Amino acid sequence: MTQKLTGLKIRAYRKERGLTQADLAQRVGISAPYLNLIEGNRRPVGDALLKRICAELDVGIAQLDGGAERRLVQALEELAADPRIGDARGRPANAEELVGRHPDWSDFILRLFRAYEDQRQAVLALADRLNRDPFLGENVHQMLTSAASLSSAAEILAGGNLSEEERRRFDAIVQADGARLSKTARALLGFFDNTEMRIRSATPSEHVDSFILQENNHFPALEALAESFPGSFPHGGFEDAAPLREGFSESGHAVAAPETRRFALMKQTAHRIGREAVAEIVSGHLALPSEESRDLARAALHSYLAGAMLMPYERFLEAAERHRYDINALCRQFGVSYEQAAHRLVTLRRPGAEGVPFAFMRSDVSGHVTKRLPLPGLALPRYTTACPLWVIYGAFQTPEITVRLYGELPSGDQFLFFARAVDKTPPRVGYPRKLLSVMMACPASEAGRVVYGDGLDRGSAVVPIGTVCRLCPREECVYRQEEPLIAGSDISDKRRMATDI
């Protein structure tokens, strides 16, 4: 790339100085056709020759080989690859030439794109606000007004010492504002239901998320199949599962951790024995409208079945309760990885024999969320990073050590969060370390059943957190990265005001 830019720049400087190719070629001791090849990027230019050319053109080497141009080329290439701007077929491929010949115009294009990107972000933010604020703001205001009127009239009625006419008047106010409050609350409920409809997933993997959530992440048919399967697995490795090795290829798994190999083996078995049951669950499910989404759902269910065979429901639930949901203890007992055990805990939703309800979230170090299973009252972000205070990020600071926190959302709901960054580095020399953080969360009211709540004082150690900055009303939060889009109500602020009055 440098060479290409250099040739084009030699040509530009030569012309600027009013020299012909023949003039410059003669001065630096090469033939004109050879200089033509250099300028046309068809021949490289060696260091010694470049120095002579620079001397003749009276420019520094840095001017012919600048880092700024390289960055410009990279930025333009990235821009050209942006699917919002062009498609892959028509993608311009000669950014180097553009930068070499027209650096000013190249810079201009880049600035234009940045301006467009800024405007696009502003439009998105405004659209979001327009979509939500007027209705929400108006209705919340209406609710508070009705509540104020209701409580004031109720206080007057409770105070007594009223004439019959006064009593009738304030009774009527209580009735009217009670009815108005209900009506507004119903309208808001409808709004949120519709909002959920509008933001429902639109891509295959999001369809699978919706499907799993709709089923409460519990599939009784697969649980039954796992339990009926002979030799639900003692752990220890392949030798324990010798009859199942048939048809299993070890390629790709030969150097993986034992629990990963066991899971891979079990998944192949799940494919074989679970095909019909999985097909029946997936077939015709309204949340899975495309073949692609059904393919992904089938893969997820085969993994589910593999997990259920390695960690049979009743035995796993009993062990979880006995170990107070200590995931490391469960890993040891069932010979599975941290993530496999954590994920299995989320599936303990059999009616009448439920475990502690958990949300599950997995992120890589860049904040990319690779798996999410929310809980009622605890939304997990899909497209963006979560609140920086969540332990899912803090866990990267101390890999393989669990970090935990009591957090209170702006809604006032409290959850116990705990997370651990697990090492998924490919077992090959020279590869950078790959960490994935697995976070679980349960309602704080359930924390007594969970070992991760031990020693944390819920009375004093609750940290005010949000879900994502754009939707969090905690204005004073020093961890904030983005301004909030929706004017919400900060519960801690409300509490302060209540004591002021």
Partner 1 sequence: MSDRILIVEDEPNIVESLRFILERADYDVHSISDGRAALERLREQPYSVVVLDIMLPGMNGLDVLRAVRQDDKLAHLPVIVLTAKGQAQDRRAAAKVGANSFITKPYSNAEVVKRVGEFAGR
Which amino acid is it at 141? Answer: H
The yes or no reply on residue 139 touching partner 1 (CB under 8 A) is no
Interface size with partner 1, residues (CB under 8 A) = 29
Strands 369-373 and 359-364: antiparallel
Query: Of the two residues 171 and 454, which places its CB atom closer to partner 1 in the complex?
Result: 171
Q: Using the rule CB under 8 A, is 409 a contact of partner 1?
A: no
CA distances, 445 to each of 116, 324, 390, 411, 414 (Å): 48, 15, 19, 15, 8
* Cα gap 471→482, rounded to integer Å: 9
User: Which C-beta is closer to partner 1: that of 367 or that of 473?
Assistant: 473
CB-based contacts of 87, cutoff 8 Å, min separation 6? none
Any contact of residue 68 with partner 1 (CB under 8 A)?
A: no
Q: How far is the CB of 299 from partner 1 (least distance, A)?
A: 46
Smallest separation (angstroms) from partner 1 to the CB of 178 = 11
DSSP string, 436-499: EEEEEEEEGGGGGGSGGGTT--TTT-EEE--S-GGG---TT-TT--S--SS----HHHHHHHHH
- x/- letters, 255..274, toward partner 1 (CB under 8 A): --------------------
164 binds partner 1 (CB under 8 A): no
Residue closer to partner 1 by CB (options 464, 473) is: 473
Query: Binding residue for partner 1 (CB under 8 A) from 63, 74, 151, 203?
Result: 151
By CB under 8 A, tell whether 464 contacts partner 1.
no
Q: Which is nearer to partner 1, 150 or 419 (CB)?
A: 150
Q: Figure out which of the listed residues 39, 69, 96, 177 binds partner 1, where binding follows CB under 8 A.
A: 177
- Residue 176 found at the interface with partner 1 (CB under 8 A): yes
CB 129 → partner 1: shortest distance, Å? 15
Number of C-beta neighbours around residue 375 at 10 A = 17
Residue 493 binding partner 1, by CB under 8 A: yes
Distance CA 398, CA 418 (A): 13
- Which of these ranges, 137-145, 268-276, 416-424, 430-438, lies near partner 1 under the rule CB under 8 A? 137-145
| Residue 242 interacts with partner 1 (CB under 8 A): yes or no | no
**Site for partner 1 contains 166 (CB under 8 A):** yes
Burial level of 55, CB count in 10 A (0-12/13-18/19+)? exposed
Q: Does 179 bind partner 1 (CB under 8 A)?
A: no
Residues 6+ apart with CB under 8 A from 30: 49
The answer to whether 470 contacts partner 1 (rule: CB under 8 A) is no
Q: What is the residue-wise DSSP string for 346-376?
A: HT-EETTEE----EEEEEETT--EEEEE-BT
User: Is position 276 an interface residue for partner 1 (rule: CB under 8 A)?
Assistant: no
Distances (CA, A) of 498 to 144, 193, 221, 464, 491: 14, 30, 51, 18, 10
Contacts 24+ apart (CB under 8 A), 104-113: 106/72, 106/76, 107/72, 109/76, 109/79, 110/72, 110/75, 110/76, 110/79, 113/79, 113/85
Sign of CA dihedral 427, 429, 434, 435: positive
Stretch of residues binding partner 1 (CB under 8 A), selected from 54-62, 142-150, 212-220, 434-442: 142-150
Cβ-based nearer residue to partner 1, 13 or 170: 170
Among 12, 125, 136, 173, contact with partner 1 (rule: CB under 8 A): 173
Among 463, 473, 480, 486, binds partner 1 (CB under 8 A): 473
Binds partner 1 by CB under 8 A, chosen from 53, 109, 150, 405: 150
DSSP for 390-448, please give it: SHHHHGGGSTTS-EEEEEE-TTS-EEEEEEEEEE---SSTTPPP-EEEEEEEEEGGGGG
Minimum separation from the CB atom of position 177 to partner 1 (A): 6
Interaction between residue 480 and partner 1 (CB under 8 A):
no
Tell me: does residue 97 bind partner 1 (CB under 8 A). Answer: no
- Among 26, 145, 303, 384, which residue sits at the site for partner 1 (rule: CB under 8 A)? 145
Does 384 interact with partner 1 (rule: CB under 8 A)?
Answer: no
**Nearer to partner 1 by C-beta: 177 or 209?**
177
Among 164, 239, 291, 476, binds partner 1 (CB under 8 A): 476
How many whole angstroms separate alpha carbon 199 and alpha carbon 458?
34
* Residues 185/192, Cβ–Cβ less than 8 Å: no
List of residues contacting partner 1 (CB under 8 A): 140-141, 144-145, 147-153, 155-156, 166, 169-170, 173, 176-177, 473, 475-476, 487, 489-490, 493-494, 497, 501
